[in-house]
Amino acid sequence: MEKVKNHGFFKFLAPIYDIGARIAMMGQYDRLRNQLLGKIEIKKGMRVLDMASGTGYLAEQLGMVDLVCTDISIEMIRRARHKSKGDFVLADAHRLPFKDGVFDAAVSSFAMHEVAQPPDVLGEMFRVLGPGGEIAIMDVVRQTRFSKKVLLEIFHTFVEMRTATYVDISGLKDAFSAADRFNVQWEMFDLVALVWGKKRD
């Protein structure tokens, strides 16, 4: 489980992503993303980062905020820009092109398993978040129960084509704790973990 996708793959994926992801997630696509948005307070006028925004699902939901979407794939960004408002920035999540503390909130859905160094990406999200800012991350994570391990293996093989690196939930929580200035909370939805927290003022 240690190979991440070649970024060129997302060029192929972009046109079919919205339909493909909905099929792969068996009806959970909207429900899970709404869970993510429900965990933190996002209000009109806030400056919000969506890291690895893909085709811009969250951008469609967050119409009233000052939203910045970043992604490493220009094809994903083109599709997102077509569908929704916001600033769309081509950027590698390991080196976000923003100054420290410039966002009021940061979100990311189903991207951690695609990046080479999840702790570095989380560190970048923490860095660009201002004091009192909230962060929510959602993704498929490693499993401990046998039945869930089998399910993850099926997902890894047939959906991810064995190119994904999964963090475990404790790794995500530890990253928040290591950052030291976050209150961390979490919830599991089958294979998916949702971790959120608020940066102390």
Interacting residues with ligand SAM (CB under 6 A): 10, 21, 52-54, 57, 71-73, 76, 92-94, 109-111, 114-115
CA-CA distance, 201 to 188, in Å (whole number)?
A: 28
Q: What would the two tokens of residue 163 be?
A: 């190119």
- Is 37 or 72 the residue whose CB approaches ligand SAM more closely? 72
Residue with tokens 């046998």: 146
* Contacts of 91 by beta carbon, 8 Å cutoff, 6+ apart: 70, 71, 72, 97
CB of 69 to ligand SAM, least distance (A): 9
H or E segment to which residue 147 belongs: helix 146-158
Closest residue to ligand SAM, based on beta-carbon distance = 54
- Is 93 or 167 the residue whose CB approaches ligand SAM more closely? 93
- Is 144 or 157 the residue whose CB approaches ligand SAM more closely? 157
- Is 78 or 94 the residue whose CB approaches ligand SAM more closely? 94
Residues 71/80, Cβ–Cβ less than 8 Å? yes
CB of 193 to ligand SAM, least distance (A): 14
Give the pairing type, strands 87-90 and 103-109: unpaired
CA-CA distance, 73 to 53, in Å (whole number)?
A: 10
CB of 85 to ligand SAM, least distance (A): 17
CB of 141 to ligand SAM, least distance (A): 14
CB of 146 to ligand SAM, least distance (A): 26
